[in-house]
């Protein structure tokens, strides 16, 4: 009895996967297969040369960062790189930049997306969920409190001066952190610097 269309299709698919696995490592299809295998692997298998923190320690860190970290998303992702990659070694450099790239592609706040990605690396879906809540909740409560304060006392001169001062300080933090992030990401790759310059000019003037 001949095989049905579904069985034939499955056979072709298996043969294609087998062929991809036998290709040279530098083959584009071989690279694609390794990338798919890497992304489908569990977070535990992907951790190399890093110190694995407890979920409690990770949640406490993001709770503190969400409460005390100022400067917007660029500044916050810079703090994560300094604290988690360079100092504590909780996240490898490769995982950090991969998560940063994915977070920029996904809709939603950049820093919150990266925090949830790091939580997923160390705790799977539960880690991503708890990390997101720990990171977002302090900021949410603080914004509610500041909004209430501004509605009731926004006409006072010292309140207005305080908000203007905070805005100037945050702007300086964003510029400093953005420059450090650019230097670490582009490094000494002149092609990337050229593309960065073109995109910066088009963003400002168009």
For 107, phi then psi, to 5°, come to -70, 150
Inform me whether the pLDDT recorded for 23 exceeds 70.
no
Q: What confidence tens digit (pLDDT) does each residue in 183-193 have? A: 777 777 888 88
> What is the rounded distance in angstroms from the CA atom of residue 39 to the CA atom of residue 32?
11
Instruction: Look up the pTM and report it.
Output: 0.58
Q: Is 132 exposed, middle or buried (0-12, 13-18, 19+ CB in 10 A)?
A: buried
- Locate 159 and state its tokens: 């309140």
- The per-type count for the chain, helices as H runs and strands as E runs, is 9, 0
Q: What confidence tens digit (pLDDT) does each residue in 37-89 have? A: 544 444 544 545 568 889 999 999 999 999 888 777 888 998 999 999 999 99
């Amino acid at each position: 009895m001949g095989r049905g269309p579904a069985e034939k299709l499955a056979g072709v698919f298996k043969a294609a996967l087998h062929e991809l696995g036998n290709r040279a490592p530098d083959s584009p299809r071989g690279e694609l297969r390794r990338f798919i295998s890497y992304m489908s692997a569990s977070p535990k298998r992907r951790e190399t040369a890093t110190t694995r923190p407890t979920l409690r320690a990770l949640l406490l860190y993001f709770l503190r960062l969400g409460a005390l970290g100022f400067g917007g998303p660029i500044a916050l992702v810079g703090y994560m790189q300094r604290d988690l990659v360079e100092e504590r070694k909780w996240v490898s450099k490769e995982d950090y930049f991969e998560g940063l790239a994915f977070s920029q592609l996904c809709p939603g706040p950049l820093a919150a997306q990266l925090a949830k990605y790091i939580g997923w690396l160390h705790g799977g879906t539960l880690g991503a969920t708890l990390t997101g809540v720990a990171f977002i909740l302090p900021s949410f409560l603080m914004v509610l409190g500041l909004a209430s304060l501004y509605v009731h006392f926004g006409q006072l001169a010292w309140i207005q001066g305080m908000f203007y001062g905070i805005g100037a300080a945050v702007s300086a933090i964003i510029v400093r952190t953005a420059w450090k992030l650019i230097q670490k990401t582009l490094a000494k790759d002149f092609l990337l610097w050229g593309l960065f310059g073109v995109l910066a000019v088009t963003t400002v003037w168009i």
